[in-house]
Structure 1
Amino acid sequence: MGPDVEEAATVHLPRPARRSVLLLTGALLLTACGSGSGSSDGPATRGARAVAFDNCGRRVTVGAPPKRAVSLNQGTTEIMLSLGLADRMAGTATWTDPVLKGLEKADAKVPRLADDQPSFESVLAAEPDFVAASFASTLSAGGVAPREKFEELGVPTYLSPADCEGKDNSGDGDGSRTRPLAMDTVYREVEELARVFGVEDRGEELVARLKSRVAKAASGVRAEDTTVLYWFANQESPYMAGCCGAPGVITNALGAKNVLDDSRQEWPQVSWETVADRDPDVLVVGDLTRRSQTAESAAKKIAFLESHPATRNMRAVKGKSYVLLSGQAMNPTIRTVEGVEKVAAALRAHGLAG
């Protein structure tokens, strides 16, 4: 589920900041003009060849491997850190969970601009030469800033294809899927970011490891008779997963059934009466550390489920058939692989894996 988006505000820069932004703009435009151009057929090379590709309906050209990249969402951040790019990152923002295990030292090297959504000014102050985001809402008028604002300053932008391809973000909420998400789209994001930074070999190695983990986790699991429900956040009007986002990838990999697979919304808000009526075998609950919604942590979610009159007698609640996942595992990220692993392990532990 995407971050909560605050209402956009007009950017008013104080005089010193205006001067800094103008200097940054000139430097970036000179860099872009002097970086050369070329075909996008070959690998990115340091300072020698532009990389160009289509990204969410836009043509993106990166003149040289970035040296001061800013990642506006945890999903793109963890890809960059996994590719060994901490030394080429000038900032990160919008975190729902602790950083992926094993990346703590790399993450500590990169300035955190904000735990939540940063301001446009704070991103510009980091003097980025490349900006990446996981959600269309982040690079919009209601988010940090529209992509055009960065591009006017000579800063190329990248949006995770998992949040735009086969997805309609035009309405309210977190959008709807016009076709189911596939992990291949996430793998392509890894490969494209690796190409932007000229580390294609690292991208290929990371994708190979992720594919191997999914295959191993799903091996031997036969959960056709098992029903699942995914709760991301909010106890008043809970966000539950529809059919076709990252939870759909997890469910389909294991052959299980999402009890809300009749909704193509990414995260429809449903009533607790509906949840109780669907009565899944397993409840997958988001264990988030952010504080923008009610019932963010798994502990608070479980306490609510076991006390609410509409849910306390559900099969999964009475049997304590819970699976705890990070928010990133429930979003279309490399940690969706972690979701496959943990749900598979839980189904085996509860005797529901066939």
Structure 2
Amino acid sequence: MPFAHPARALRSAALLVTGALLVAGCGTGGPDGSDPSGSAKSSVQGGAKGGYPITLENCGQRVTVTAPPRRAVALDQGSAEILLSLGLADRMVGTATWTDPVLKGLEKANASVPRLADRYPSFEKVLDTDPDFVSASFLYTLGKGGVAPRERFTQLGVPTYLSPTDCVDKDNSGDGDGVRTRPLTMETVYGEVRDLARVFGVPERGEKLIGDLKARVEKARAGADFKGASVLYWFSDSQGPYMAGCCGAPGIVSTTLGVRNVFDDTKEEWPQINWETVADRDPDVLVIADLTRKAQSAESAAKKIEFLESHPVTRNMTAVKAKRYVILSGQAMNPTVRTVEGVEKVAAALRSYGLAK
């Protein structure tokens, strides 16, 4: 795909020659961008004003920013909500790829930032915003099937940041949504918040947000023992349903609360599992994503429940007969700040269903 804006490409090239633009180079991480500590590594280099330049080793690439971004684009909802939560709406010129309404409390800030597309915008449309920083939650978004590979932004001098939750201890080489080599933890999410806060020169906001999230997790699980309860996480599609494996964001919820995911025997992020196998596992509770997108069948929670209660294989499941459903936003099942929402809502539901000791 050719660059859509030759004048902008020339402008970027000129700035690269003078060294005034932000620079992204080769990484020193492992082949999957992993880090032994389980979180993103970052380091400050140079002595420019305000501590810049800042260099991050991010998912196999070394990314350097020479000043706080002023025209950022967040290409996934999770990344957008982190920036909005950090109070950076005035430095954002676009968002894209949404599955849900924006996080409560961020509606006004979000309304001030142009939405480039509900799904993937074209590379040209992103460039038309004249971005100086691009972030994303998923490797696919910054890959050949998404908006554009990271290298295409790098060629124009635009640094890109990919959430470490989609590369640290994760193998994305297959055709699915990846395989975890180690369980994801909230520490990797907190590392992303910390990275982005430092890039934008607001580290204190990052630490406050992390502190608030940690306090919410502790409050959600305090005073209850949820061991013995079993759950299943259904994200999308009724024809070839995507259920959560052991070790992604739903795994954080399960581990935090001590419940058992009935598909904790697979490290695939979102394996497609047939309904006969689901019925055989017969979980106590069904955690269901309520999506506003229309990419698959049965995206909304209402459509999912309608399917479960009418399908001959699923209608006799324990959770279906007892109507033990937990409705979550899609983002609460993704590894981002909304994962805490998942912990809170699953904990509250287990209590209400009498499954807490």
2:331 corresponds to which letter in structure 1? Q
Distance 1:46 1:110 in 2: 28
| Aligned counterpart, 2:9 | 21
Letter in 1 for 2:236: A
For residue 318 of structure 1, the aligned residue among 311, 318, 321 is 321
| 1:26 partner letter | A
25-34 or 111-120, larger mean C-alpha shift: 25-34
Which aligned pairs between 1:277-316 and structure 2 lie closer than 5 A? 277-316=280-319
CA distance in 2, matches of 1:43, 1:257: 48
Q: Which residue does the alignment assign to 1:94?
A: 97
Q: Do structure 1's residue 152 and structure 2's residue 155 form an aligned pair? A: yes
Determine helix, strand or coil for the equivalent of 2:20: helix
Q: Which residue of 1 aligns with 2:170?
A: 167
Shift of 1:24: 4.3
Tell me the equivalent position of 1:120: 123
Deviation at 1:59, TM superposition (A): 0.8
Shift of 1:41: 3.7
For the residues of structure 1 that align with 2:73 and 2:175, how far apart are their CA atoms?
A: 27
Could you tell me which runs of 5 or more consecutive residues in structure 1 were left unpaired when the two chains were aligned.
1-10
Cross-structure match for 1:60: 63
Paired AA for residue 6 in structure 2: R
Alignment of structure 1 residues 102-141 onto 2, 5 Å: 102-141=105-144
Between the aligned partners of 1:342 and 1:28, the Cα distance in structure 2 is: 48
Q: In 2, Cα distance between the equivalents of 1:251 and 1:160?
A: 21
Q: How far apart are the structure 2 equivalents of 1:308 and 1:84?
A: 45
Could you tell me how far 1:141 is from its partner in structure 2? Answer: 1.5
Q: TM-score normalized by structure 1?
A: 0.92
- Look up the equivalent residue of 1:287 and give its one-letter code: D
Q: Which piece of structure 1 moves more, 220-229 or 302-311?
A: 220-229
**CA deviation digits over 1:148-204, x for unaligned, max 9?**
110110001100001000100000110010000000000010000000000000000
The alpha-carbon deviation at position 30 of structure 1 amounts to 4.3
Asked if 1:328 corresponds to 2:331, the answer is: yes
Gaps of 5+ in 2: 24-41
Q: Is the 8 A contact 1:69 1:90 kept in 2?
A: yes
Paired AA for residue 7 in structure 2? R
1:294-330, CA deviations, whole angstroms, 9 ceiling, x for partnerless residues?
Answer: 1110000000000000000000000000000000000
Query: d(CA) in 2 for partners of 1:45 and 1:286?
Result: 46
Question: TM-score of the superposition, structure 2-length normalised?
Answer: 0.91
Matched AA of 2:243: M
2: CA distance, partners of 1:296 / 1:78: 21
2:180 aligns with: 177
Distance 2:245 2:203 in 1: 34
Matched position secondary structure for 1:61: strand
Distance 1:34 1:164, change over 3 A: closer
Q: Which amino acid aligns with 1:258?
A: N
Distance 1:45 1:180 in 2: 38
Whole-Å separation in 2 of the counterparts to 1:44 and 1:308: 64
- Correspondence for 1:346: 349
1:27 shift after superposition: 4.2
User: 1:204 and 1:317, CA in 2 relative to 1: closer, same or farther beyond 3 A?
Assistant: same
**C-alpha displacement of 1:287:** 0.3
Give the CA deviation at 1:18: 2.3
1:194 alignment partner in structure 2 = 197
Change in CA separation of 1:24 and 1:171 when aligned onto 2, cut-off 3 Å: same
Output the CA distance in 1 between the equivalents of 2:118 and 2:46.
34
Task: Measure, in 2, the Cα distance between the counterparts of 1:182 and 1:260.
Answer: 18
Q: Secondary structure at the match of 1:264?
A: coil
Answer yes or no: is the 8 Å Cα contact 1:43–1:195 preserved in 2: no
Distance 1:28 1:305, change over 3 A: farther
Give the C-alpha shift of residue 34 in structure 1: 8.9
Aligned residue in 2 for 1:235: 238
Asked whether 1:244 is paired with 2:232, we answer no
One-letter amino acid of the counterpart of residue 312, structure 1 = R
CA–CA distance in structure 2, aligned partners of residues 79 and 113 of structure 1: 18
2:182 partner amino acid: R
Number of residue equivalences? 339
Residue 44 of structure 1: how far off its partner (Å) = 9.9
Q: How far is 1:28 from its partner? A: 6.1
DSSP 3-state at the match of 2:231: strand
Runs of 4+ aligned residues of structure 1 deviating over 2 Å after TM superposition are 17-35, 39-48
Is 1:223 aligned to 2:226, yes or no? yes
The DSSP-based 3-state class of the residue aligned with 1:32 is coil
Give the corresponding residue for 1:3: none
CA distance in 2, matches of 1:229, 1:130: 37
Distance 1:296 1:34 in 2: 39
**What does the per-residue CA deviation read over 1:202-243, in whole Å, with 9 as the maximum and x for residues that have no partner?**
000000000000000011221111000000000000000000
Percent identity between matched residues is 65
Question: For residue 286 of structure 1, what is the amino acid of its counterpart?
Answer: A
Indicate conservation of the 8 Å contact 2:285/2:324, yes or no. yes
| Aligned partner of 2:266 among 263, 266, 271 | 263
Letter in 1 for 2:98: W
**Distance in structure 2 (CA, Å) of the matches to 1:71 and 1:198:** 17
Partner of 2:35: none
The answer to whether 1:71 aligns with 2:74 is yes
